[in-house]
Amino acid sequence: ASLHNCMSGHGPDQASYDKAVATELKPHRIENTLAFMFETRWVIRPTARAMETPQMQLDYDDVWRGFAKGRVD
């Protein structure tokens, strides 16, 4: 599960995106996976305990690094 503030980056990682756009457009069954994503318009203020938990994914933002390549400003 993941929890997101409004307007914060979230969604598929680069590898999932690349696979999806290269795949033939037809129904695909995805098995043995389940995800819950919660987004709120309110600002999330995590507790000190939440910020110190060993379960926190410290490299979460890294999954979007490849999206900037080839970008035209």
What's the mean pLDDT when you consider all of the chain? 81
Position 44 confidence tier, pLDDT thresholds 50, 70, 90? confident
Domain borders along the chain are 2-60
Q: How far apart, in whole angstroms, are the C-alpha atoms of residue 27 and residue 11?
A: 20
**Secondary structure element (H or E) that encloses residue 19, with its range:** helix 14-22
- Write the DSSP assignment of 38-73 as a string of letters: EE-SSPP---HHHHH-TT--TTGGGGGGGGGTT---
The residue-averaged pLDDT of 32-46 equals: 86
Nearest to 9 by CA among 69, 73, 67, 72: 67
The CB-side HSE value for 71 (13 A sphere, CA atoms) comes to: 6
pLDDT at 68 over 70: no
Mean pLDDT, rounded, for 18-33 = 88
- The reported pLDDT for the residue numbered 73 is 46
Query: Is the per-residue pLDDT at 54 higher than 90?
Result: yes
